[in-house]
Structure 1
C-alpha cells in the first residue's frame, strides 16, 4: 500500500473512531441517567439512595464536562497508539535499572483491575469484529501475526478513558464506582455499532482480514470460568475415529467445485478448522441458504439420509440394531456411516454425519461422566444425528432443544454414582428419555422440548427427594424473594398515592419506609394461612386499611363533628398501628418515636380552631385511593431486567422462620452486572449444575444447584457429604465466579466441550497432515 494511501486510511479511521467514541460516551451517559432514575424508585436504603442521587446530580451538572474529558483523553491516547503500533517501544526488564523500579500504589492497582474488567467486557461485546480488526491492523503493517495490543482502536483505550474521566471528575468513591459500572454497561451495549463502523473503513479499502479465531483456552475461561488445557496428543482410541473423519473432510474441501457449490460462499473455506467453525457457530457465519437453512439440503420430509436413519433408529428402539456399540459405547455412528447409502446425500449431509459422529466420540469419552451413564446417554446418538440432518440449526444454536436435552442429561450425570440409589434413579430416568426419543422421534423436534421439561421436573424432585431441609430451603428462598419484590412494588405504589396528597413529610417518610415492610409481611402471613388478600380476614387488607385513617387523622379539622370522630378513632387506630409494627418486629425505640410523633400531630389537630384552607380528601376518598393497591402473595411480578436485591435482614428473618442456618453468600454490586451476565447465568447455571466451593486455604467441596428463585435473585446449593445449604445472591454468585471461590465442575456443557475439542483438533491439521 502506498504511503499516501496508508496515511489517508489511518486518518479516516482515526476520525471515525474519535467521532464514534464521542457519540458512544454520550449514549452511555444517557443510558446511565435513565437506569439510575429507575434504581432510585426501587432503592430501599438511605445510603443507596444518597449514592444514586449523587450520580444523577453529577450527570445533570457535570455530564458535558465528562464527555469533553473523555474526548480529550481518547484523542491523546489514540494518537500515541497510532504512533507506536507494531513499533516496540516497551522497555524490557534487562533495560531497566533498579532506580527506575518502584512499588505500585493502591490507586494504580485499582485502576488496572477496573480497567481490565471493563476491557474484557468490551471485548466480549463483539469479539469476532474486534478480532477481524486486529488482523486488518496487522495486515496494514505487513505483519503475519495479529496482536490486540498493537491495535490502536483496542477496547483497553476506551476503558481507560472512561475510568480516568470518572475518577478525575467524581472523586467520591461510592458515587464514582456506581457511575463507572453503569457507564460500562452503556458502552458495552452500544459497542458493536462502533466497531462495525471502524471495520467498514478498512474493508472499503480492500482489507477484508479473513479471521479464523482459534479456540483459545483463555477465551473459554472468560466465558465458562475454568476450561482445562487440552492434551497435545490425541488418545489412540479417539484417533482411530477423529483422524479418518477429518481426512474425509479435508478431501471433500480439496475437490474442485465439490463443496463450494454446496455452501454458496463467496470466500469458501479452504481448511477443515475454518469449515467446522462455520458449521458449529451461529448461522450468520455464512453456511446457510436464503431461507436460513443450510444450502443444498432438501426439506426434512424428503431428506434421503434422514429416511435411512429412521430405520437404524427403529432397530435401536427394539434393542436389535445389529451394530457394535449400539448401546452407546463405543461410538456407533461411524459404523452406521458405513451402512448408509451416501450417494444420495449432499456434501453438507456427509459433512454433518462426520461432524456429529466425531462430536459423540468426545462426548462418549468424557471422563467427567461415569461410564455406565455415558452408555445410556449414547443411546441418543442416532436421534441426534437425524435431528442435525433435519435441522442444521442444531449444530449452530446453543439453545436448540436437542442440544439442551443432551446437555442437561449429561450435566446431571456428572459426578453421579450409578451404584447408589440416587445414581440408579438418574440412570433409569435417562433410559426413559432415550426410550421415548427412540420410539417417538420422527421429524417433529417438539418431542425434545417436551422431554426437556419433564427432565427439569425430575431434577427438582431428584434434588429434594426425602430431604426436608432442602424443601424448606426452596420455600425459604422463594419467600425471601417474594418479600423483597413486594416491598419494592409496594413502595412504588405508595409513592404514587402519596405524591398528590401533599401530607406532612414526617408521616409520609414513616409510611414510605415502614409500611412496605408491614404490607409485605402481612401478605406473607396471608400466604401461610391460605387467605386471599381481599378476604375480610386478610392481614394485608387490615394493615392497608390503617393508612387512609392515619392520613385523615393528621389533617386539620375545622368541624366539631370531625374532631369528635377523630377522638373516637384514635384509641383503635393506635392499637392497629402498634399491631402492624409487631408484624415486622419494629424496634421499641423506633416504635415509640413514631407514636410520639403521632401524639404531637394529633394534639395539634385537636387544638386547631382556625378556618379551612384547601379542602383535603375525605376519609372515604382516601380509602378508595388505597383500595386500588392490590397485591397477592401467590402472584408476585417483577418488571425490571435485573433480579431483585434481597436485603440481609429479610434473608435472616426468613431463614429463622424456616428454622434453617444456611451459609449465606451475599454482597456484590448489582450495578456491575450486565445483560451478558444475566444471559450467562440463565444459560449456564441450571438446576442440577455441579460446582466446587473453594475455601481461602485452597480446599474445595462440591455442591449441586438445587433451586433458583423465580426471578433469579437467589441460587440455592446443597453441599455434598453434609448436605449443608449454601445460598448465593445473583451479584455474589457473579463475584464468586470471577474471584474463583466458586468454580463449575463442568467448564461448559458437554456438547460445547465436544465442539471445543473438535475445533482444537481440527486446528492441528497443517498442510494436509493431522498432527
Structure 2
C-alpha cells in the first residue's frame, strides 16, 4: 500500500487527538483498517459502476411507465449521491475502528432486552429490508465463518472491547449497517433498495473471505496469536437416516441466523412470563395429577397431525382443539396406564396460538368467507410453533409470512365475489389443502407454499397495476379535459355574458368554436400563441356582428371579414366539426355581414341627404349631386330577413361527452370537521369498505386523487374503477359511518400485538 493511499483514506476519518477519550489503535490494527478500507472502497466502486446497468435492465423490463420512471429516477439519484455514500460508509468504518479501544467506565456490557411496552408493528418495507439483510448476513457468515472467527479472536487480543461476529467492524452485519446508514439519503422505493442490497451482497460481501485472510496475515506478521490454527467449521449434527428432526428432539430453524438463539429464548420467555402471570384469568390454570407424565413435542405433533387429517371435513370454528386433544390424551393414558398431559412449554404454545387465531377470526379486515379457510390453518400453524419457537420472534418466518401474504391478498376480496370462480379464493383453498394433506413435521413446506403464493399474487398484482395505471391515466386525461372545459367556459362568458347578439353567432361560439378552444387548450395550453389566436378570432367574430358607425368601421369590416372567415373555417376543420353544420353557419354569417354593409351604406346616404342645400355653394351642390348616385344602389336592395337576436343573461356551461344532469348539491362541512380530516388522512393505496346498503359492502382501494377536479378514484383488487367521490362527498360518507378504513398492516403482527396488549392489561388489572 502506498503512502498516498494511506493519506487519502485518512482524510475520510482523521486520527483522534491524544486527548481524545478514544484510545489510540495499535499500529497493526491501523494497517488492517487501512487495507480493509482500500479493498471495501474498490468493491463499492464496482457496485456503483454496475448499478446503472442493472437498473437500466430493470427499467427495460418494466411493465408500466410509472415503474420505468422509478428505475430511471433511482439511476439519477444514485449517480448524484454515490460519492457521498462512499464517503459516509468509509467514515462509519473508521469510527467503529477508532472506538475499539474506548474505555466505558462504570458500564458493563449487557444484552438488549425485549420491551413489550414499546412493541410496535413493523412496516412492510422495513420488514422486507430486514429480511434481505438477515439473509445476506447469514449467507456471508456461512461462507466466511472461520476466517472471521480468527480475525475476531485476534482483535480481542489487542483491544479493550470484546467483539463477536456481530460487532466486529469488518463483520457482515456491521458492514450492512454502515451501508444502510450511508444510503439513508436515497429517495428510492423498497424494490430499488432491495436491488441495491443485492448488489452490495454481490460486490462487497462476496469478497469478504480474501479480505479476512489478508487481515489475519497482517496480524500474524505483527505477532498477534500466530499459533491460532484453523479448525473445521462447526456443522449441524447429522440427521439419522429415516428420522425427522422433530423425532430427534430438534426444533428446526428455517433460515434463522446462527446467532438468533438468545433472542428467540428471550422473546418466547417473555411471552411465557406474561402467560404465567394471568393463569386462571386469560388461560386455564393447570391442575395435574401427581403421576402426570408430559408427552414430548414430537408426540404432540403426532396427535395434532391426527386432528389435522380430520380438519377438511369440518368448519374451522366447529373444532374445539383443546377438548379433542384431551380426548386423545385420555386414550393414550388408558393404553399406557399413566396420566399423559401436554408439557408446560407446549401448553403455552397452544394457548398463544389459540389467542392469535381468536384475534384473526374476529378481525373485521378479513372477509368472512375467507376466515373459514384461514381458520383451517390453525393446527398447521400450531405444529410449526411447537417445532420452531422462532415462529414468535422472527418476522421473516415462512409460516408467518405465508399467513400475512394470504391476508394481504384477501384484503380486497369482496363477499359478493364468486368463490367458485375466483382465482384468489381457489389459490388460498389450494394452499390450505396442501398444508392439511402434506404437512407432517417438515416445515420446509411453508417455504415452498410461500414461494408459490408470492408468484401467484405477483402475477395478479402486475395485471391489476397495469389496469390501475390505465384507470389513473384515463382519470387524469378526464381531469385535464375538465380543466380545459372550465377555461373555455370562462373565455366564452367573459365575451358573451350580458351582450345581445345574433342567435346564430351565439350558437356558433357555444357549439362549434368551443370545441376549437378545447383542443387548443389541451394541446398547447392557455399561455400559448395558438390559444391567443383562437380567442382573437372569437373577438373578431363578435365585433363583426355588432352595430358600428362611421367610414372607418366599414373599412375595418371589409378588411376583417375575409381573414375572419378563413380562420373560422380552418379552426372548425381542425376540430373535425360537422361540415354540413359548418356550411349552414357560414351561410347565416354571410347574411349578417351583408346586412352590416348595407346598414353602413344607408347611414351614409341618409347623412348626405340631411345636409341643408342652402348651406352649400353652387359648385358644392353640383359636386354633391354628381357624387350622389355613387352612394345609392342602382337597383333595389334584396330584402334580407332581420337576424334573430338573443340576450346572453345566463352563464354558459359546457357539458362533457356522456355527462348526465348535475346531481343534487353536496352538503358542506366546516373545514375543521373531523370527517374532512379523515379524508385528508387517506393515502393512495388505502383500502376502504363502503356500506352500500344493509346487505352489500364494497371493498376498494384509493387509486388516485385527481387534484384539478378534486376527485378521489377507487378501484377493486383487479384495478378496475368502481367508485369516484369528491372530498366533501367522502367526508359526508365518513360522517354517517358508511366508510370503514381497512387495516393493511401485517395480520400476524397485529394479532401478536393484540395478544400481548391483552395479557399486559390483564396482568395490571
Q: TM-score range by the shorter chain?
A: 0.3 to 0.5
**TM-score scaled to structure 2, two decimals?**
0.33
TM-score of the superposition, structure 1-length normalised? 0.32
